[in-house]
A and B are shown apart, each in its own frame.
Chain A
Amino acid sequence: MITLISSDKRKFHVLEEVANQSLTIRDVIEDRRGRRRADRIILVTNINSKIPEKVIVYWLRHFLMPEEIAHASMSHKKAEKLKKWEAKFFDTDIDTLNDLILAADSLDIPSLFDGACEKVSDILKNRSAEEVGEISKIENEFTHEEEEEEIPSENAWVWRNEFA
């Protein structure tokens, strides 16, 4: 059993085998193997407080069928079920997705990272640049030349369609 401590000092006790899905944690545990018990406590202070919960839920769901995930031989029914579950899991607001991506990146959990990135790309698809800019409150910061000449001239076919 290892203990994760989040920024708001909450403790999460997780089975080592479960937390091993994070390659970063796995390496830390590997490094400290055979040392004192206190070393089995890992600080993850920089993760937003609701994120560890989500991550652990994700780990547990995947831990239930580790072999099936490793092999493509997973039965179709199980695969469907897992996919449905993942779709629900990632169906969340953009801030959470943002945090999940950062958490998955630094904890090195490839499947979680891919899943969250795919979800973000799904939100972005079929939207014009202006729409994305509006939703995201992102300032484009382009210079006048870039906006008027460079962007429209490369791949002109995209923009022509936009106004067609």
Chain B
Amino acid sequence: MIGMLDTFPRHWMAEEEKEKDWLELPAELIHLIAKKLPDLLDFIRFRAVCKTWRSSTLLSDPPYQLPWLLELSQTEYCPQGTLRPQQRFFSISSGETITIAFTNIKTALEKWIKGGVCSHYLAFSDDKIMSFFNPLTKDLFLLPPMRYFLYLGAPCMVWTGTAPIHDRSIVVLDRTDSLWNDNIAVGAFYDPYKSKWVYQFGQFNSSCYLKGMFFSTCARGPTKVFDAYSNELLHTVLPPDNELTDNPFDGNEVNELPRHFITLKQSFLVVSLGVILRVSWFHGWCAKGSLFNIYRLHYETADGTPFWVRIHDIGDQTLFLEEVNGFSMTARPSTGFREGCIYFIDPHNDEPYMHDILAGTVERMPCPFKRCTWFLPGL
């Protein structure tokens, strides 16, 4: 009889009935448990429990995080807001409000902030100096000055390295205000090798990056696919055939509204599990009347022309949408988010809403702030 004894770790064979410590696990398993903690706050507390737990986890390797809500101030002239001396964040999974003081950092204050990803915000001052700013670590990365000032530029940041403005990163800033929908806008691509901006004129709005390709679209227009490194236009994908006539209101009595009340407000491009999704947001008379059509991009077709296919389910993914860009994440129930849902911010009042795709319902999310946006915490 050949046993499997040899294959087991020694610590495990040690005793029969000795009184055990709670969680007497080897370091590599401690690390894996820490990786499952739903909130950054829990992770930092976890590291303060004991020496073994602290040494088994790295501050630079925090668990996968779902977004927090960032409180925006009420400023007349800025559609987004400024950082406050006491900036507040709200963690949905823990229900806690986190306050961070910025009294010592003059550079970060008085700046306008824009939606961001990868735990950094795009901050820009009145004199058009732009930087990426992480409010938790207070790291600030200055960007070189731009020839054109993108007044409403929301960043689609892509970096393959570990830090922004890393030698292998690409930063893309682009935006046409959805009000001027079909106007020509400037897209700015940051070339980290030459450390300068490359400009592209076209219709940009929502954008995303996948496998060396950069995708950009405007609300009703075609989606353009660029090679992210050479900036060359690879494809122009026409909008879904029936985007405007596909009826997202089928069998949905809650939102029985006259058709002409409902307009296609915005199209978001979102990377979800290695595919590109186009999320068409139909806005009714208020955010509660919102409905969404979701399309998936098929780009490995026989003749090489990508096209959109409508889907009715996003599986176990959760989508987060902000002003123009969105992201997709996997949410476990314990994180306070639900899978198969779209969480979006209504641009009229900057309030967070949740749309359950299968049930077809829209509800406002509990949030202590009047105006807010998503923020992905990171260390």
Task: Please report A residues at the B interface, Cβ cutoff 8 Å.
Answer: 7, 24, 28, 32, 38-39, 41-46, 72, 76, 83, 94-95, 98, 101-102, 105-106, 113-114, 117-118, 120-122, 124-129, 132-133, 135-142, 151, 154-155, 157-158, 160-161, 164
Contacts of B2 in A (CB 8 A): 32, 39
Q: In the complex, A34→B280 CA distance in Å?
A: 58
A89 to chain B, nearest CB (A): 15
Asked if residues A136 and B37 are in contact (CB atoms below 8 Å), the reply is: no
Q: Given A46-B13, A125-B334, is A98 in contact with B99 using a C-beta cutoff of 8 Å?
A: no
CA distance A43 to B8 in the complex (A): 11
B258: interface (CB < 8 Å) = no
How many angstroms between the C-alpha atoms of A154 and B60 in the bound complex?
12
User: What sequence of 0s and 1s flags, for each residue 9-34 of chain B, a beta carbon within 8 Å of any chain A beta carbon?
Assistant: 10011001000111111000100111
CB distance from A105 to the nearest CB of B (A): 6
3 nearest CB pairs, A to B: A43-B3, A136-B22, A129-B48
Is B254's CB within 8 Å of the partner chain A? no
A43 touches B4 (CB 8 A): yes
Query: Chain A nearest CB: distance from B379 CB in Å?
Result: 7
- Interface assignment of B257: CB less than 8 Å from any CB of chain A: no
B13 partner residues in chain A, CB cutoff 8 A: 45-46
The reply to whether A157 and B51 contact each other, CB–CB distance below 8 Å, is no
**B 318-346 binary contact with A (CB < 8 Å = 1; else 0):** 00000000000000111000000000000
Task: Decide if B174 is an interface residue (CB 8 Å cutoff).
Answer: no
- Contact pick for A120, options B23, B50, B52, B93, CB 8 Å: B23
A98 near B46 (CB under 8 angstroms)? no
Beyond the given A117-B29, A138-B22, A142-B51, please list 14 additional residue pairs across the A-B interface where CB-CB is below 8 A: A32-B2, A39-B1, A94-B23, A98-B25, A101-B29, A106-B7, A118-B334, A121-B38, A124-B42, A126-B39, A129-B49, A136-B23, A155-B136, A161-B96
Asked whether B316 is an interface residue with its Cβ less than 8 Å from the other chain, the reply is yes
Q: How far is the CB of A141 from chain B (nearest CB, A)?
A: 4
**B98 contacts chain A at the CB level, 8 A cutoff:** yes
Assess whether A117 is in contact with B7, with CB atoms less than 8 Å apart. Answer: no
Residues of A within 8 A of B25 (CB): 98, 101-102
Select from chain B the residue with minimum beta-carbon distance to A132. B49
Q: Please determine whether A157 and B98 come into contact, CB atoms closer than 8 angstroms.
A: yes
Q: Is the CB of A24 within 8 A of B45?
A: no
| Closest-CB distance, B69 to chain A (whole angstroms) | 15
B58 interface residue (CB < 8 Å to A) = no
Please give, as numbers and ranges, the residues of chain A lying within 8 Å of B16 by CB-CB distance: 7
On whether the beta carbons of B21 and A122 are closer than 8 Å, the reply is no
- Residues on A with C-beta less than 8 A from B95 are 126
Partner of B316, one of A32, A72, A158: A72
Residue contact B36 to A117, C-beta cutoff 8 Å: yes
Contact B21 A138 (CB under 8 A): yes
Give the distance in Å from the alpha carbon of A117 to the alpha carbon of B28 in the complex: 12
Closest residue of chain B to A136, judged by CB? B22
Which residue of A has the minimal Cβ distance to B340?
A76
A139 to B45, CA, bound (A): 15
Knowing A106-B9, A129-B45, say if A136 contacts B4 (CB, 8 Å): no
Do the beta carbons of B358 and A76 come within 8 Å of each other?
yes
Question: In angstroms, how far is the closest chain A Cβ from the Cβ of B369?
Answer: 16
- Interchain CA distance A118-B54 in the complex, whole Å: 19
Tell me the bound Cα distance from A45 to B7 in angstroms.
Answer: 12
- Nearest A residue (CB) for B11: A102
Within the complex, the shortest CB–CB distance from B345 to chain A, in Å, comes to 24
How far, in angstroms, from A42 to B48 measured CA to CA in the complex?
Answer: 41
Which B residue's beta carbon lies closest to that of A116? B33
B136 and A45 contact, CB distance less than 8 A: no
Q: Are A138 and B49 in contact (CB under 8 A)?
A: yes
For B94, give its contact among A105, A120, A126, A154 (CB under 8 Å).
A126
Quick one: which of A120, A127, A160 contacts B99, CB cutoff 8 A? A160
Determine how close the nearest CB of chain B comes to the CB of A20; give it in whole angstroms. 15
CA distance A127 to B25 in the complex (A): 20
B41 interfacial by beta-carbon distance below 8 Å: yes
Please give the distance in Å from B260's CB to the nearest CB on chain A.
34
CB distance from B138 to the nearest CB of A (A): 10
Q: Which residues between 213 and 252 of chain B lie within 8 Å of chain A, taking CB atoms? A: none
